[in-house]
Amino acid sequence: MPAPPRPPAPPCPRWLVVLTLAVALLSQWMLPPFMGEDEPWHLEYAEHVAAGHLPSTSMVTRVADLATLSPSQYQVAGRFPGLDHGEIRAKQAEILAALDASDVWRRVDWAEDPSGAVSFDAIHPGISAAAQPPGYYLLAGAWLRLCPFDGTIARLRWLRLLSALCYVAVVGLCYHCAGRLGGPAPAAAVGALAALMPMHLRQAATVNPDVLAKLVVALATYVALRGLSDHRRRWLLIAALAAGVAPWIKSTAVSAVVPAAVLALVFLRRRFGRTWPVLGLALLGATIAGAVAALRSGPVIPANLSRALERLQDGLAAPNWIELFRTLLGAFGWYGRTVPSWFAALAVVALVVALIGLLRGVRSESASTSRPALLLLILVLLTQFALVALRGEAAGRYLYPALPAATALAAFGWWSAWAGRLRPAAAPSFAFLLTLWFALAFFDGALLHERMALGS
């Protein structure tokens, strides 16, 4: 007789709600304007949408435009074919003036002060957010239309509030995903981990499509976990909608397809019995084909086999994974300042302990009721790692779409590692490491290096 499904975690504890809201507001003050990665380019894209210009679903470029536009402006013209070139130049000049007024160049060490520049190419030649899918920017543009303030920096701060809302929602989803695996203590630990992870907290005040990508994948993961236990069709519908929207937000969000496909296979098996494998293969084929078609113009899907092999070689190289780990732990000032090396070594030890505990926990009899959820979360996380490898370049934020899976598996593994008489030490040791991580990143990276610009 099968074991009854594990009940979900209770509503988020009040302390976790207060903590999440407090640090989200703190991050709004801590992060100076335009210190979020690539914010000028993302703000530019959203501002054009807010002005009433709808982006094309694909790049429509004209060679003749190269005679009058810089490389970054040329890409914007390709995303907005009907946009006047003078308006493109004026918007970049407006944002550049705001960059100069906010004293960004004193806080970064990778770019010289481009005062008097007339295009974004003075910051970084040829870079533009225009190559990104339009999904996030449609929402960001609509949000900007509600902005009651004038001025570029004020509008940037208004748009950052949307990121804070996504951050709060993702913390809640992480807590409830973990609740499908264990008791309230590990679930609360996951909520605190998602809230206080330095680079995730930083995204609460960063204008970037990653904030919406992680929300969509987190939602798909949560509803899939719900659907595995109560088999209501509404969960399948929500997961399918999230998977359909995800590729139009960012290529790293395509992992939303995994929980939706797994849930669909479970429903097919229950509905069609022995014929479900054939239908399941057809579903998986259609899902993969749709995702590839949506991502074809993005940075993840290579143009040909040769490029794919080159990307994989770069993506699987050791320096790429070191960079992923470095920027996941904490990298501030546009990745110029990282956490101390001794803490990075301590984090490696903690990850090894959690991994050993996870392997032991998955095999234990006590995990039998949550094993399907565990396997789903592992699959989501492995898919996210595969997307990073296929991209050919790494950044910690590329893993955040799988944040519910990563944090839930880390907590489950940590609690499983402290078995028997050592179990009472699981919560205090977890809390100590998380507090130390937050304090190091907050004071050395965010406060001293970015906010006060000491040592820059």
Residue 2 is predicted with a pLDDT of 42
pLDDT digits (tens, 9 = 90+) for 90-140: 998 898 888 888 877 766 655 655 666 778 887 878 888 888 889 999 999
Q: How far is CA 417 from CA 5, 10, 135, 318, 361, in A?
A: 23, 24, 41, 27, 8
Three-state secondary-structure class, residue 58: coil
The SS3 of residue 116 is: coil
Quote the pLDDT of residue 1: 38
pLDDT value of position 348: 93
Predicted local confidence at residue 456, as pLDDT: 42
Q: pTM of the predicted model, to two decimals? A: 0.87
Q: Say how many C-beta atoms besides its own lie within 10 A of residue 270's C-beta.
A: 10
Cα separation, 326 vs 452, in Å, equals 22
Q: What DSSP string describes 289-356?
A: HHHHHHHTTSSSS-SSHHHHHHHHHHHHSHHHHHHHHHHHH-EETTTTEE--HHHHHHHHHHHHHHHH
Burial per residue of 350-363, b for 16 or more beta-carbon CB atoms within 10 angstroms, e otherwise: beebbeebbeebbe
**Residue in the block written with tokens 């070191």:** 322
Cα 283 to Cα 46, 218, 278, distances in angstroms:
35, 22, 9
pLDDT, residue 4, reads 47
Q: Which tokens hold the place of 254?
A: 């395509």
Give the start-to-end residue ranges of the domains of the chain.
Answer: 39-131, 160-451
Task: Specify whether the backbone of 128 is left (phi greater than 0), alpha (psi in -120 to 50) or beta.
Answer: beta
CB atoms within 10 A of CB 168: 18
pLDDT per position as a tens digit, 143-193? 999 998 889 999 999 999 999 999 999 999 999 998 887 778 888 999 999
Q: How many CB atoms lie within 10 A of CB 418?
A: 17
d(CA 137, CA 228) in angstroms, rounded, equals 33
pLDDT at 11: 80
Q: What is the mean pLDDT of each run of 10 residues along the chain (456 residues)?
A: 52 90 89 85 93 84 78 88 88 88 69 68 82 92 92 93 95 90 83 91 90 94 90 86 88 88 82 59 61 55 66 77 85 74 90 90 65 88 86 82 92 86 86 89 68 51
